[in-house]
């Protein structure tokens, strides 16, 4: 009777948590804080893998959820156990004071308590990332953490929350539906960006023909994401530290990126403070010297006379061969061929890019200006929102739209999905 009672308590919240319904209720509650601590309990290590391997796998499992939710997870090895949000451990049969007894090898391999702890049956043959036999500990951990966060089982094909273990290759990821399910509980990832740009790559196909491809990047503070436009998500495993992917430029808080691309020029610049760097695409690092032997970084005032610093953002207009620099409520149009600001500038952003809907405008201090090849449009980002600049196509559909007008703002998270922070400890 005591065991039955404790089993029923599995469906109820742990003391101190939010009151909630049973597992498959639509009104499931969730953790209310954004950073959650976890620990692999010292007296409950698996006998099958090294402790480091177990911790690494759990760290990765938590990170996978963090990459698609506003939640961050940090491993906590020092705080009193009662203050750790999620504890994980291995056991056999009767284990860890748990009312649910494991059944030995086969059938039940783990269980979890919503907003609580995770137990793994150490009679199962759990295997690490590199193995394609046994039961993937990573896959089981991701599944059980899903329960801890509030997700129930589903029989939807492809979901990580299917109740039965599906043997697959070692690589698996959270698909669109699993992401949306967890985001219904915790919301989408939002936040401002330092800069957003498309990086052009020229490649030759097997026939020797030059093809142009682009990759979309989002920068925020000291890390970055590659956004896969065709998959409507960021690259698996992002964000990454700026330091690892972009050598030679400042390691955080980039102000702007500009790609000057004409018939004769193909130059990429990063701006921060009063300086700028030119990036060497072939060597995949910043130039250390310019053509005249001068060293990088250079002063913005030297390379772009008439442009103030620090900047808010900038973008290059290929049709006009102008770089638009933004600072506060002003925009500067810089002619790259004559190397000077157009005589009619600076002008108010609201005049050059007027609001289509009155008062629906960023007005000043734009975070990022971005020309998207995927959308053939220019976007202005500020805070969690973006404004789209009226394009030729928009004007064809509605000729009354002002040239270069700004369409009403929308949430950035509704167009670029899952650009999510992770805990700083997960960046290494």
Partner 1 sequence: EMLFHSRDRSDLEPSPLSRAKPIADLRAAQRFLSRYGWSEVPAAWGPSPKGPAEASVGSTLVQAVRRFQRANRLPASGELDAPTLVAMNRPRCGVPDTRLPPPAILTTPPAPLAPLGPRP
CB-nearer residue toward partner 1: 57 or 140: 140
What whole-number distance in Å separates Cα of residue 83 and Cα of residue 369? 43
Query: Cβ 269 to partner 1, closest distance in Å?
Result: 50
Sheet order of strands, 377-382 included: 368-372, 377-382, 385-388, 410-411
CB 277 within 8 A of CB 249: yes
Sign for the CA dihedral angle at 169, 170, 173, 177 comes to: positive
Query: Cβ 117 to partner 1, closest distance in Å?
Result: 12
Which of 125, 180, 201, 211 is close enough to bind partner 1 by CB under 8 A? 125
Which of 18, 25, 35, 376 is close enough to bind partner 1 by CB under 8 A? 25
CB-nearer residue toward partner 1: 19 or 107: 107
Active site residue 144: yes
Helix ranges (H only) for 284-427 are 300-303, 349-352, 392-397
Q: Cα-Cα-Cα-Cα dihedral of 26, 32, 38, 41, to 10°?
A: -70
CB-nearer residue toward partner 1: 119 or 298: 119
- Map 185-238 to HEC letters: HHCCCCCCCCEEEEEEEEEECCCCCEEEEEEEEEEECCEEEEEEHHHCEECCCC
CB-nearer residue toward partner 1: 144 or 255: 144
CB 369 within 8 A of CB 257: no
CB-nearer residue toward partner 1: 20 or 394: 20
Active-site residue (options: 43, 67, 124, 144) = 144
Say whether residue 35 binds partner 1 (CB under 8 A).
Answer: no
The DSSP H or E segment spanning 279 is strand 275-280
**Distance between first and last Cα of the chain:** 48
Q: Using the 8-state DSSP alphabet, how is residue 129 labeled?
A: T
What whole-number distance in Å separates Cα of residue 320 and Cα of residue 305? 19
What whole-number distance in Å separates Cα of residue 387 and Cα of residue 365? 13
Stretch in the footprint of partner 1 (CB under 8 A) among 18-26, 38-46, 241-249, 338-346:
18-26
Q: Cα-Cα-Cα-Cα dihedral of 151, 156, 161, 164, to 10°?
A: 140
Residue with tokens 């979890």: 112
Query: Residue 133, SS3?
Result: coil
CB-nearer residue toward partner 1: 104 or 408: 104
Query: Cβ 153 to partner 1, closest distance in Å?
Result: 5
Site for partner 1 in 55-114 (CB under 8 A): 92, 100, 102-112
Question: x/- contact string, 151-190, with partner 1 (CB under 8 A)?
Answer: -xx-x-------xxx-------------------------
Which of 147, 221, 268, 409 is close enough to bind partner 1 by CB under 8 A? 147
Q: What is the number of alpha carbons within 13 Å of residue 207 lying toward its C-beta?
A: 3
Say whether residue 364 binds partner 1 (CB under 8 A).
Answer: no
What whole-number distance in Å separates Cα of residue 71 and Cα of residue 31? 9
Which of 18, 34, 51, 134 is close enough to bind partner 1 by CB under 8 A? 134
Say whether residue 397 binds partner 1 (CB under 8 A).
Answer: no
CB 317 within 8 A of CB 311: no
Say whether residue 144 binds partner 1 (CB under 8 A).
Answer: yes
Query: Cβ 157 to partner 1, closest distance in Å?
Result: 9
Query: Cβ 122 to partner 1, closest distance in Å?
Result: 10
Stretch in the footprint of partner 1 (CB under 8 A) among 19-27, 73-81, 251-259, 328-336:
19-27
Which of 1, 33, 204, 319 is close enough to bind partner 1 by CB under 8 A? 1
Chain positions contacting partner 1, by CB under 8 A: 1-2, 4-5, 8, 11, 22-25, 48, 92, 100, 102-112, 123-125, 127, 131, 133-135, 140, 143-144, 147, 152-153, 155, 163-165
Catalytic residue annotation: 144
């Amino acid at each position: 009777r005591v065991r039955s009672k404790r089993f029923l308590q599995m469906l109820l919240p742990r003391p101190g948590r939010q009151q909630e319904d049973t597992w498959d209720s639509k009104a499931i509650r969730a953790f209310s804080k954004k950073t959650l601590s976890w620990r692999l309990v010292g007296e409950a290590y698996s006998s099958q893998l090294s402790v480091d391997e177990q911790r690494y796998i759990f760290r990765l499992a938590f990170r996978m959820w963090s990459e698609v939710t506003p939640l961050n997870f940090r491993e906590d090895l020092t705080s009193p156990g009662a203050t750790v949000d999620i504890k994980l451990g291995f056991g056999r049969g009767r284990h860890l004071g748990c009312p649910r007894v494991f059944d030995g090898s086969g059938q039940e391999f783990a269980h979890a308590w919503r907003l609580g702890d995770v137990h793994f049956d150490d009679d199962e043959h759990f295997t690490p990332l590199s193995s394609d036999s046994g039961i993937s500990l990573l896959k089981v951990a991701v599944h059980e953490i899903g329960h801890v966060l509030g997700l129930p089982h589903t029989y939807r094909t492809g979901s990580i929350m299917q109740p039965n273990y599906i043997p697959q290759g070692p690589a698996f990821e959270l698909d669109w539906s699993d992401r949306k399910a967890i985001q219904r509980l915790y919301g989408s990832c939002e936040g401002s960006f330092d800069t957003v740009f498309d990086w052009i790559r020229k490649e030759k196909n097997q026939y020797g023909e030059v093809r142009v491809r682009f990759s979309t990047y989002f920068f925020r503070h000291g890390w970055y994401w590659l956004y896969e436009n065709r998959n409507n998500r960021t690259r698996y495993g992002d964000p990454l530290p700026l330091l690892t992917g972009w050598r030679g430029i400042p390691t955080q808080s980039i102000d702007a990126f500009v790609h000057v691309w004409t018939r004769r020029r193909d130059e990429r610049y990063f701006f921060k403070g009063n300086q700028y760097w030119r990036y060497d695409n072939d060597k995949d690092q910043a130039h250390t010297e310019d053509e005249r032997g001068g060293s990088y970084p250079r002063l913005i005032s030297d390379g772009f006379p008439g442009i103030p610093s620090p900047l808010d953002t900038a973008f290059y207009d290929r049709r006009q061969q102008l770089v638009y620099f933004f600072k506060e409520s002003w925009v500067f149009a810089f002619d790259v061929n004559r190397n000077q600001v157009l005589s009619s500038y600076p002008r108010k952003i609201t005049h050059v890019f007027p609001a289509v809907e009155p008062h629906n405008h960023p007005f000043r201090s734009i975070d990022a200006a971005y020309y998207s090849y995927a959308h053939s449009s220019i976007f202005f980002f500020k805070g969690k929102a973006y404004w789209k600049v009226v394009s030729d196509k928009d004007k064809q559909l509605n000729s009354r739209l002002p040239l270069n007008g700004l369409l009403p703002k929308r949430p950035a998270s509704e167009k670029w999905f899952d650009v999510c922070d992770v805990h700083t400890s997960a960046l290494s």
